[in-house]
Structures are given as structure tokens and as C-alpha cells.
Amino acid sequence: MVRVVVLGQGYVASIFALGVERIKKGDLGYYGIPLADELPVKVEDIEIVGSYDVDETKVGVTVYDVVKRYWDNGVPESLRNITIRRGVHLNSLKSMPIKANGLEEKMKLSNCVDKLVDEWKSEKAEVIINVCTTERIKTFSSRDDIEKAIESDDREKLSAAQFYTYAASVYASENNGAVFVNAIPTPIANDPAFVSLAQDSKLVIFGDDGATGATPLTADILAHLGQRNRYVRSIAQFNIGGNMDFLALTDSGRNKSKEVTKSSIVRDILGYETPHYIKPTGFLEPLGDKKFVAMHIEYINFNGAIDEIVVNARINDSPSLAGLLVDLVRLGKIALKRGEWGTVYEVNAFYMKSPGPANSHNMPRILAYEALRKWAGLPAVSKGGTV
Amino acid sequence: MVRVVVLGQGYVASIFALGVERIKKGDLGYYGIPLADELPVKVEDIEIVGSYDVDETKVGVTVYDVVKRYWDNGVPESLRNITIRRGVHLNSLKSMPIKANGLEEKMKLSNCVDKLVDEWKSEKAEVIINVCTTERIKTFSSRDDIEKAIESDDREKLSAAQFYTYAASVYASENNGAVFVNAIPTPIANDPAFVSLAQDSKLVIFGDDGATGATPLTADILAHLGQRNRYVRSIAQFNIGGNMDFLALTDSGRNKSKEVTKSSIVRDILGYETPHYIKPTGFLEPLGDKKFVAMHIEYINFNGAIDEIVVNARINDSPSLAGLLVDLVRLGKIALKRGEWGTVYEVNAFYMKSPGPANSHNMPRILAYEALRKWAGLPAVSKGGTV
Amino acid sequence: MVRVVVLGQGYVASIFALGVERIKKGDLGYYGIPLADELPVKVEDIEIVGSYDVDETKVGVTVYDVVKRYWDNGVPESLRNITIRRGVHLNSLKSMPIKANGLEEKMKLSNCVDKLVDEWKSEKAEVIINVCTTERIKTFSSRDDIEKAIESDDREKLSAAQFYTYAASVYASENNGAVFVNAIPTPIANDPAFVSLAQDSKLVIFGDDGATGATPLTADILAHLGQRNRYVRSIAQFNIGGNMDFLALTDSGRNKSKEVTKSSIVRDILGYETPHYIKPTGFLEPLGDKKFVAMHIEYINFNGAIDEIVVNARINDSPSLAGLLVDLVRLGKIALKRGEWGTVYEVNAFYMKSPGPANSHNMPRILAYEALRKWAGLPAVSKGGTV
Amino acid sequence: MVRVVVLGQGYVASIFALGVERIKKGDLGYYGIPLADELPVKVEDIEIVGSYDVDETKVGVTVYDVVKRYWDNGVPESLRNITIRRGVHLNSLKSMPIKANGLEEKMKLSNCVDKLVDEWKSEKAEVIINVCTTERIKTFSSRDDIEKAIESDDREKLSAAQFYTYAASVYASENNGAVFVNAIPTPIANDPAFVSLAQDSKLVIFGDDGATGATPLTADILAHLGQRNRYVRSIAQFNIGGNMDFLALTDSGRNKSKEVTKSSIVRDILGYETPHYIKPTGFLEPLGDKKFVAMHIEYINFNGAIDEIVVNARINDSPSLAGLLVDLVRLGKIALKRGEWGTVYEVNAFYMKSPGPANSHNMPRILAYEALRKWAGLPAVSKGGTV
């Protein structure tokens, strides 16, 4: 079994919970879960034991009730067993049309840590998933600064993701290990201060920013061109959608953090800088969770020929990430058993847009996949051929 | 130096000759040549020493004159030194709007072999590239049948590509080795009879069907989906262009051979059959060498979500293949030096749509690329990361 | 009220019946019906009184049962009242994977006419809609030939559509008028022999080939370019889908008839010939009724600049046509009241790919729309402006 | 003859001058000029007699020299005869990477007016075209305010476009008429204060914002859907390019003015509001003048079916507008002869994104085209059909 706590009961967390329960009931296959049934830890072993949010309409109700808002085609009864608790806010929903209140309004941050650690202990949590709304970027320079911010109750310095990571490290150190999966852009696996803290606290961190949607596809298309030595002249990539995350990204501070993780792939994969425009472009409510992506790539081929590739896609955002979480939770359990404290590049390189640790880079996901399998103890799958 | 003979002085052969000479003159970089300047055999080492065609307007004139028909922006004078000789026809241009006459109209096939072998000897040819027009598919069951067809002068049984491969094997056996690059769909590297003949004749065969255009991109996109366990429901891929190859493919027999090499990737990469429509779709003269590609892929993601990817591209056909030929010629020289007679899967898997030998399969090109580099003695290039 | 008989109870006829009944129940708005609620004859006035097919699994069952095969989201009970009768086959489903038997297997063609006319009389039919499967094209040179074919029981000469038109003319002449809507490519409104027959029989014919999907959109995009004097160099348009009509069109004879109606728009709209490839391209079962369309247009602009437009679309085929039928049925009733026997260009020009009568042409649909409104007695709708 | 003065010698003005001179020399046809050779005023009658700019690298050099920067394929010698004069700046290039100085730095605004009017008199200018860089929007409430701003030398209140319009009105009143074509978004034809001024000054104004690129195509596609009563659920339209105008539009104030003219079409054409995202999206230098456009439209069809249209385009920005200017100049001459002072909706409705006068609206361009032809005294061109 893997005991999972979810931070942020939004669309992604809801589809994650829904899909896992449907699989347990035999209603759904493993599509969209990269490692499907191959891991020793099974999808059916996943147990969601806790859920946190700060949205006043969610705190205190069951996961069943929240999932129902996103899915009207039958929600498994088992989700009635989890009641959503209040998490910390720290302004992460600022400017969003949501009435939000965090634990920190009633107590000091250090008390919030104690409260969460106690709850996680009582639930015997093993893996904590962070799928809160994209935040404005902030980084820490040292572990001391993190601890000082908690002690001095400095609410301006800490984002929700950072606070939760700290709490997870306290929990891990008192619990003989735990896993923190950071699926949003805030640098956690990429912040040396947090990775160092994790190593000493028996915490495994996976992160940052789940590699869904257009970015990993772009990475593989760029790798395709790079391996043929075609010179990419320009890249334009537009994204527009109608879910809360796109609304959050109309805030330019949040958008910036997304743009950074998306743009870093260009240099990492091609090995040179090329003019590009890659960022979430806008919010269009009727598109809902199924975003529209448009991408234009122009490159130079042999004898100076100029070719163009245009990609258009309609991609359901939340199921893409939820499917990856099913693997990350199970890989987390494996890392936990092995005691691989800190962060694991082989996992991050395939699943994350901005794979930690800091100063590691993006690689073509198709290669990252092989490295991941090796790490997970699975056979290579060079389908076809004799290599 | 690598001494190259070209069979079929069409668009591809002309851009190949043009590009190589421009690079020698310093007018052009290595874009579109996958291994660029990394190989011990340099692009500047390539010497085109012979060219063959059956088009009456080409036989007897210089390569310079033919290249000028495709390129009006300055053709290097060095191409005036190669005069196009008459090759064999064997109906390979049947139904095309071209007045064609082959050597076989004046002599027996066995005499044609002798004549070509003599000419190649006098030119000290090392690598023979076949870029003739796509033919209707025919296969041989045994080496005996090939030899019998030549001896009995059976012009119905042999296609031009097959005849040339046989002649190359005779030349190789008398010349202590040679290379035959089959860039068209006729099964040569995939025909066990020819591979066996090659092994005994000191011939290296690379083939079949140069992996340009949409097919390798499709392969990498499918690999991308496969590795995320997204279930592909359907694939539609259209191609339309205005060069001679598209005109040839309006002939349904020729189209069939192309469809086979294009469709085999689906099963090879995904590991399952899925409904697909992948074939050259039509001829539209004004598009010229820059084809238009449209592709639609629909797949199932986590929790049953249905996503779609549409790819549109404008791709210059001939430079794509010509750039690969620059590598294949040089890799051929390496295989020749090593004495790797028969065929080389590691080379074919990256450069060919239908990589020989028979019963080997397509693999994601990004992985094939790594295998290729290893074979060629080049360092791995997992750009980024620590793997 | 408008009493409607449907020939061919396939996807289109089923969505037509379903949509009309849902509107009557108040479950659905008027979207997809061009003239919505503007006509004096209301959508709610439509009464389906008869349905014909030759598919053995459909003859004898109710429309309710057939609609259920295409729609699993609640079918109105009112459709239980119509039982599907056997129509004529005349090989129209030849080579399709359907077990089909027509009335003509048990009686002579002239008796089939009598039988149908009797049934239509008993149902007091006013408008007969032909939505049978696309047939191979055949045309008649004179009215005499039509009548002779019936009398001599010549089953090779007549297609189902032609037979039904003849039967409708007999019915109209004995019934003081009727309407025949030909929504498939067989030339009826474009065959002077049938139009002449209609004029003398008090029959109104609308046809041919309902203007759904990509063709009218292409027409309007071409008109857009034409009016800016941009010279269109080439047009490629691909269509692929998974419904029965796409399967039927894999038959090259049927495809030919479709290609003709699709290609005629190019010259009609632009005023000059330009190279184009416009035809249904293939069958891909998983796409179902929602076809994928890809279109590429290249044109020359001022100062010789070359621009490109690519259109990709996912279009539900059957609802598109069904929505037009809702108007055609009602416009038919209006023509019937006015006694406009023969065919009506103003109606055909907007609703049909190949608007009759013969030698009339396509016009930009946006202009045709204004002409249609005038004919129907509706106010012009130049939205915006003072013109 | 039509004597033309150009304000802003950028890409558009250069292609305009180049194309007109090439046509005069017989090097080029009329493609991209909507009314081609149909008007009584011929393309060959256009004479460019003056050009203004504030870019220090342009003022004082000939149009020939500037055109050469944009076009390296032979510039007509006749363009050596026009030397670019200094115009007014009024901060219109603020924040752009251009060293700019305006006339107003050496004299009062009222003196600038006098200087320009004198120059235009000496050149016998008839039509003045404004193709300056897109400005931040400002509007005037009354004619008095305009005159006061000039008199009081208020440089904050006036944009370059507004200043030039005022100067044109002074020139027209002293010269017995003139024409001002405003091809940028600044409201001139839409500002009642300027239109009133024009009526009393014998000035013809055409404007605002030349209808090139994606917007008129979007309008016609929306009209196509609207006439079939398909309900548009959402519209996303992205534009990215590499010319100076795209760079200018990264300034949010300028972008705003563009967004307004682009968005107004949605309501005007559809007759209802629908969520949309339509604006210039970014600057990507390598795309140059050939912008990339991506558009996604989702709509509801009959029986609730949801269809999607995606349009991707590569469009040369400057030739599109330059081709329209060739008509506007000639239509201006016609209006001048007729004395139609003020503004002309029939012209604006076809050629402008935001057609004046204020409170008039967009109409489908295909209909606007017919209205335009009528105004210009040309026969209707309902190609095809009998209507």
C-alpha cells in the first residue's frame, strides 16, 4: 500500500482520486499511466488518506462532493471517506475569484507545522503530493533562511509550496522517511536549500512542475530536429484554456514562473539559444480543462532549405498530470524503501518540466524514459530491432 | 576520400551534389546532415565520380546542366566534370511523362552488368547510391532466382533497383568491397536473398527507403505517446507534393510499396495495431518539392480523456533525403573499411523507413540515434542531465 | 404542418428525426438550422410520416430502434410510431458490408412505383427527402429514356435516387404537388430530364448534394481571397471519417461523383482554373461521424508575396446535413404552396454543393444567403453598417 | 494621375512604392489589389510625390535607399527621385529601438502644420496616407479641443496620426480638397471630431486600421457560421511576427488599441457576445514580415453537436496592406472628384478593421465588397448563378 496526502483538492487532485478509485473498481484501464502495471507497487495499492485546501467551499466537505463538481458521470462512493482539511494559504490564491482562508489565520506558522505533522502521523502518510495553484516564484538561498522564516512567522517570505515542503521535512525526520511530490513550478527540487534539508530529514523530493501538455512533446520534436542537425530558427508556442490554472496564469507573476520552466527546454535540448515565444497565453472559459495548443517551428535543413512544422492540439490538462501522479506516488514509495533521500534526477527527468536538482537539465524524454526504467529496475523497452 | 556513383540524377541527387560542392566551397554549413562534422570521414571528402539516368534529356549532359534545372541560384562549376551515363530502365519510369531508354535496349542484361562494372572500376567507385524513382514492389525468394533472371535475360522479373544491386555485388566481389545505399522502397536490405548475396560478395547494403519527411516525425510522436501509455485510437497522415516522386506515386502499384514502409512503423513503435491511414495522397504540381503534410492522432489518456494532436508541415523533400545521403555515404565508407558485409541494422534503424534486415523493426529514432552513434564510434550525446 | 417521408434511414435521417423531436419537446434550441425560427413554417410543424430503407436490419423496425444505434442519450418515444418500410435497392449498397434487399426483388419496377405512390398517398406525404448512400453517377439524356427504363424494367439504367425521383413525380402529378429533396450527389436537380419531368408533374426538386462540411467553408474562403484579387496557386483538401458514407466513398465510382461536386466550386468561385486536390480521402472507423478535414491553400498577394492558409477541422457530418434538411423541408412546403414546380436556384445555391439547374453555378454562400432570404420573403440581414 | 504623400516610410510604405513602380514597369501583375484594373483611376496613374519619417537613418535619404533595406531583388530607379522629409514624432516611436527626431523639436506645432502644408502644396498632393507605427489610443471629444491643442502647442494631447489629420484638414481647406487615408488603429474616421472637421475642410477620410491579415478572414468565417446559425462558443486567435509593428505591439498601450479593433468584429458579425481572445500575441524576430497566425473556433451545430475549426496561416503583413492602399489611393481620388467630404462607410467597411464613422459596424466583407463596388460604380460580380 501507498498512503497518499493531497495538497490542493482542485481539478488534478480530483481526477487523480477519481481515476485511481475507478481502476480499483475495475471500471478503467491503465491508459495515461506511463508505467501502467509494471511496477512492484500497484495502482490498486494507492490509498488517499488525506486532502487539504483553503477554498471555503471545499474545506470540511468530502472529496466525493468536490469530485462531483468536475465529473458528472458517476463518482465512486469510496471517496466519501476523505474529508478535506484546511491547509495553509499564504496568499497563493491572491487575486483569484476564490474565497480562501488558511490555517495561518488562526495560529503561528510553527503551530501550523505541528498541526499538519500530527495529522499526517495519524494518517500514516507516506507520499505528499503538492498540486496547489501555480504561485509567484520565490527562492531561498539557505536552509537557515527557511527555518528562520518559520520561526519568525514571516508570511511574506514563504509560499504555500515552500511551507508544505518544510512541514514534510519535519514529518519525514520524525517518521523515518516520507516523499514530497511537487507538481507545480515553484522551485523545490531545484532549490539547493530544500534538497539539502530533505537529505538530512529523510525526505524524498520529486519536482518541479509536472511535464504534461505541450512542453514534453515540444522537447521530443526539438530532439528529433536536433538529431538530424536541423537548425531551429524560431519557436512559437501558444496555450489557452479555461481551467483555474489558466486563470491563475493571467497573473503575470505566476505566468513568469511557468515561462521559465517552459523555456529552459529549448536550450537544454537543442544545445543553443534560439528565439522563442513559449508561455501560457490566455484564459478562455468555454475551453474548460481541454486546452488548445498551437506551435510553430521553423528550421533550416540541408542546402539551406527552410521547413516548417505546425502542431495544434486539444489536450485535457488535468488527466495528463493525474496519470503521471499515479506513477510518481509509486516511484516515491520505491525511493522511500530504498532510502534515496534528497531528489532523484532519473525520475524528475521524465516526469518534470524543470527536473531537479538545480543545474541539471532537460533531456529528450524518450531517452529519459529509458533512464527512468533502469532506475526503477524495469527491463529496457527498445521496441523493435536488435539493439 | 569517398568515391560516389549516383543512380538516378533527379531532384535528390542534384541537391546532394549541389550541397556537397557548396560545402566544399565554404558556401554552406552542415545543417541537415545528422552527424555533421563528427565523423572521421569528412563531408569535404565526398567525390561524386559517376552519375546514371535513363531520361533522354539527361543522358550525355553534365550534372551541372541538370542541377541548373532545379536550382537557379548559382551552380558550382565543379559539377561540369561529371557527364551522366545511360543506366538500365527496366520499365521503372513506365507511365511517367518522361522519354526514357535504358542500356538493356541495346544489349543483354548480363552485358549491362559487365558494362557498369567496367565503368565503376574505371572510376574506382566505393559507394553506389540508388535514388531512382519509386518502383512497383517485387521480391526475390532466393539468390538463385536473381542470378537466373540475369542469365535468362528476364526483364519482367527484375526492377532497376534489383538489377543495380546485383551489378553492385558483382563489382564488390571483383573490387574487394563496395557499398550500395538503397534510398527507395524496393526491398533490398529487407530481401534476405540480396543480403545473403551481399555477404558473400563483400557488399555493404544500407536500406530501405530513406527516412525523411513525416514518417520519422510520426514515429517519434508515437513513441512519445507510447511511453506515456496513451492509447492511440487512430492515425491519419496525408502527404501531397509536386515533385516527380509524388507524380510517380499516383500510380497505385508504386503507392502500395510506399504505404507498406510507412505503415509498418505504427505496429513497430506502439506495439499494437491501430486503425490508420498513412500514405502519399496526391500530386499537386505548384507545391513543387515542398510537400504539405497533415496528420491527425487521437488518443486516450488517464481517466478515459480523449486528446488530439494535429501536425501540419511544409517540408522540402529532396534536401531532407540529400542530407541523410551525406551521412550514409560516409558511414558506408566506414563499414567498407571494417568489412561489415551484408547490412547494418544500427545504420538502417536511424536513416531508413523500412530498416533491414528482414524482420527487424522500427524503433523510436531518438533511441536509434544513440545506437547509431555507438556503432559509428561517437560519444553518446544525452544532452543535459547526469545520466 | 409538413408531412415528410425519408428515403434512407441512416445516420443523417436519424439525427434529423432525433433533433426535430427534441426541439418539439423543448430539449434543444435551433442551432445548426440556418433559418431557425424565422420561417412561417415552424420546425415544430415537421411531422415525419414515413421512412424507407433496404438494410435487412432496419426494414420492419421502428425509427426509434434505429436512432438508438446512433444515439445513446435518450431517444424520444414519439419515434416509435414510424415503422421503416422496404424501399428500392437497385444496387445502391453494392460492395458495402450491409445485407440489403429491395422491393424490386419481388416485383417489377413499375409495380414498385405504384406501391410507393399508394403508401405516400395514404400518409399524405408532402416532402420526400433522399438521403440514401452516395451512388455511382449516371445521367439521363431525356424524359423518354426515364420512362422507358421504368416500363422495360431496366434495373441497370436506374439508380435508387433516379427511381425515387420518378416515383415522386408520379405521386406529385396525382396528388396536386409534392417536393423531392435530393441531398446526395446523383444529378437530379442538375439533370434537365428530371427538371423537365418535375415541371410537368407539379414536383419541386431541391438538389444536388447537401452543402455541409468543408466544401461551403472552402467556397467562402476562396471568395474571400478572390475579392482581394489574391491569386490562388493550389488547393489541397483532405477529408477522412468513419461513418458509412466515408466507407461508401472508398469505392472509386462513388468517390468520382463526390469529387465532381466538390471541384466545381473552385472554378465557379474564383473564375479561373487552379490546380487542386479536393476529394474524400479515406475511411478511418474510430473517427466515427466526426470527420477530420485538412486544407491547404497557397496564394500570391501584392508584390508577388506568397501566403498560405491551412484549415483543420473536426466536423460532425450528420448533424450538419440534418440541420439543413430542417430548412429544406420547410422551404419545400413554401415552394409547394407557391407552385414553383421544377427546381429553385435560390434555395439550391445556399444549401447544395452542386446547385441545380444544370449550368448554373456556385456563388459565395454569403451572397447566396442573401438571395435565399429574399426568395423566402425574409428581411435582409446585413448585420452592422448602414448599407 | 493621383499624387500621393506617404507618412511613415516603413515596410508597408516601401512595399507600396516598390509594387506600384514594378507594375508601371510591367514587372508585376495586379495580384493583391482588390479592384485590380477595374477602376477608372489606374494603378499606373499613382505618383508618389512625398514621403515623411522621423527615423534618423531615413530622413534625408531617398525612398530607393530605404526600400533596398527591405527588398534585395532589384529596386526601380524611379524611387531615387523622392527624398524623405522629416515629419512629426510626438513620441509615437517611444520605447522602440529607433533614434527618432520630429519637426516639433525645432518649432511649435502650429509652425509644423504650416511647414507641411507648404510642402504638400508645392508637391500638389492629393492623397495623404498614414502608415506610421501603431500608437497608444487617445480620442478627442470636440473640434475645439483639437484646435486648442495645436494652438497651445500641447504635445501630450496629440498623437502623430491626429496631428497629421489636422494638418491634412488645413491643407484640404486651402487646396480645394484632399484625402487622408488612416491605415493604423488610432481613431480618426471613428472620431466624430475629426470627421466633422473633415466635412468642413473638404477633406475625405478613409479609416481606421487596414483590414489585412487574420481579422477579415475571421470575419468571413464567423459570417459563414452565423448564416448557418451555428453558435460560436469560443474564439482564440494568436498572431506573432517579426516586423516593427509586432515589436511596437509588445507595448501594452499600443496592443490595447489593436485589440479593440480586432475584437469589435465578433459582436458585429455574430450579433451576440462570445468569449474570445483575439490580439497580437508576441514578437519573434526570425519570422520577419511573414507572421504566423493560429485560430481556434468551437461552435454548436444541430442536435448539440460540437465542431471545431482551426486555422493556421503564414501571411506577409506588409504586402497585404500595401495592396489595399493601391485601391484606397484611387478610391480617394474618386471621392475627391465627387466631393464626398467626411468619411465613406462603403469604402471603410471593406478595407478597414474598424470602419468609420463611429457607431457603424463591421459587416461580412463579402457583402461589404458588393456595397463597395456599387459605390465605386462597378458592376456587381455575383460570379455564378442567375441571381
Question: pLDDT (tens digit, 9 = 90+) per residue, B85-111?
Answer: 999 999 887 778 889 999 999 999 999
User: Which among B238, B295, B308 is the top mutation candidate for probing chain C, defined by the most C β-carbons within 10 Å of its own β-carbon?
Assistant: B238
Cβ A220–B216 below 8 Å, yes or no? no
* CA triple B69-B72-B77, angle to 5 deg: 85
Chain B: touching chains (3 or more CB pairs < 8 Å):
A, C
Q: Which three-class secondary structure state does DSSP give residue A312? A: strand
Cβ D320–C304 below 8 Å, yes or no? no
CA quadruple A151, A152, A155, A157: dihedral sign: negative
Average confidence (pLDDT) over D31-45: 96
Chain C: touching chains (3 or more CB pairs < 8 Å):
B, D
Instruction: Indicate the pLDDT class of residue D385, thresholds 50, 70 and 90.
Output: very low
Predicted local confidence at residue C261, as pLDDT: 63
Question: pLDDT (tens digit, 9 = 90+) per residue, A242-256?
Answer: 988 888 877 776 666
Predicted local confidence at residue A383, as pLDDT: 47
Residue B288 forms contact with A (CB below 8 Å): no
Cα dist. C241→C98, C250, C316, C321, D122 in Å? 18, 11, 10, 15, 66
Task: Flag whether pLDDT at D189 surpasses 70.
Answer: yes
Residue A307 forms contact with D (CB below 8 Å): no
Residues of D in contact with A275 (CB under 8 A): 284-286
Question: pLDDT (tens digit, 9 = 90+) per residue, B333-378?
Answer: 999 999 999 999 999 999 999 999 998 877 777 788 889 999 999 9
A-chain residue closest to D278, CA distance: A282
Residues of C in contact with B285 (CB under 8 A): 234, 275
Question: pLDDT (tens digit, 9 = 90+) per residue, D206-230?
Answer: 999 999 878 889 988 999 999 899 9
Residues of C in contact with D31 (CB under 8 A): 229-231, 300-302, 304
Q: How far apart are the first and last CA of chain A?
A: 36
Contact D164, D8 (CB under 8 A): no
Percent of chain B with pLDDT over 70: 95
Question: pLDDT (tens digit, 9 = 90+) per residue, B161-213?
Answer: 999 999 999 999 999 999 999 999 999 999 999 999 999 999 999 999 999 87
Residue B281 forms contact with C (CB below 8 Å): yes
Say which amino acid occupies B33: I
Task: Flag whether pLDDT at B114 surpasses 90.
Answer: yes
Residues of B in contact with A241 (CB under 8 A): none
Predicted local confidence at residue A212, as pLDDT: 86
Instruction: Indicate the pLDDT class of residue A359, thresholds 50, 70 and 90.
Output: confident
Hey, which residues 330-369 in chain C have their CB within 8 Å of chain D?
345-346, 349, 355, 360-369
User: How far is residue B202's CA from residue D21's CA, in Å, rounded to a whole number?
Assistant: 65
CB burial string C278-314: b at 16+ within 10 A, e below: bbbbbbbeebbbbbbbbbbbbbbbbbbbebbbbbbbb
CA distance C221 to chain D (A): 8
Residues of A in contact with B25 (CB under 8 A): none
> Cell digits for A178?
516520507
Contact A329, A46 (CB under 8 A): yes
Residue C92 forms contact with B (CB below 8 Å): no
Residue C223 forms contact with D (CB below 8 Å): yes
Residues of B in contact with A229 (CB under 8 A): 30-36, 323
Instruction: Indicate the pLDDT class of residue D269, thresholds 50, 70 and 90.
Output: confident
Residue A309 forms contact with D (CB below 8 Å): no
User: Which residue shows C-alpha cell 448534394?
Assistant: C209
Residue A220's closest CA among C128, C337, C376, B365? B365
User: Domains of chain C (ranges plus CATH)?
Assistant: 2-210+319-351 (3.40.50.720), 214-316 (3.30.360.10)
Q: Which residues have C-beta within 8 Å of that of residue D160, sequence separation ≥ 6?
A: D7, D87, D88, D89, D90, D92, D102, D132, D135
Say which amino acid occupies A326: V
Task: Flag whether pLDDT at B256 surpasses 70.
Answer: no
Instruction: Indicate the pLDDT class of residue D94, thresholds 50, 70 and 90.
Output: confident
Predicted local confidence at residue A384, as pLDDT: 41
Residues of D in contact with A286 (CB under 8 A): 233-234, 275, 298
User: How far is residue B46's CA from residue B4's CA, in Å, rounded to a whole number?
Assistant: 7
User: How far is residue D40's CA from residue A217's CA, in Å, rounded to a whole number?
Assistant: 56
> Cell digits for B170?
558483382
Q: Which three-class secondary structure state does DSSP give residue D252? A: helix
Residue C299 forms contact with B (CB below 8 Å): no
A261 CA to centre of own chain: 12
Could you tell me which residue, A245 or D10, shows the higher pLDDT? D10
Q: How far apart are the first and last CA of chain C?
A: 37
Out of B236, B240, B310, closest to residue C277 by CB? B240
Residues of C in contact with D223 (CB under 8 A): 220, 366
User: How far is residue D136's CA from residue D129's CA, in Å, rounded to a whole number?
Assistant: 19
Model-level pTM? 0.93
Residue B294 forms contact with A (CB below 8 Å): no
Predicted local confidence at residue A254, as pLDDT: 67
Cβ A283–D277 below 8 Å, yes or no? yes
Cβ C33–D223 below 8 Å, yes or no? no
Helices then strands, counting H and E runs in chain B, come out as 12, 11
Arithmetic mean of pLDDT over chain C: 92
Question: pLDDT (tens digit, 9 = 90+) per residue, D325-353?
Answer: 999 999 999 999 999 999 999 999 999 99
List beta partners, residue D237: D278, D295
Task: Flag whether pLDDT at D270 surpasses 60.
Answer: yes
> Cell digits for D223?
459570417
* CA triple A153-A158-A162, angle to 5 deg: 120
User: How far is residue C4's CA from residue A146's CA, in Å, rounded to a whole number?
Assistant: 77
Arithmetic mean of pLDDT over chain D: 92
Instruction: Indicate the pLDDT class of residue B384, thresholds 50, 70 and 90.
Output: very low
Q: How many CB atoms lie under 10 A from the CB of residue A304?
A: 17
Predicted local confidence at residue D384, as pLDDT: 41
What are the residue ranges in chain C where pLDDT is below 50? 383-387
D-chain residue closest to C290, CA distance: D307
Here the ipTM equals 0.93
CA distance A294 to chain D (A): 7
Q: How many CB atoms lie under 10 A from the CB of residue B356?
A: 27
Task: Flag whether pLDDT at D20 surpasses 90.
Answer: yes
Predicted local confidence at residue D51, as pLDDT: 98
Task: Flag whether pLDDT at D59 surpasses 80.
Answer: yes
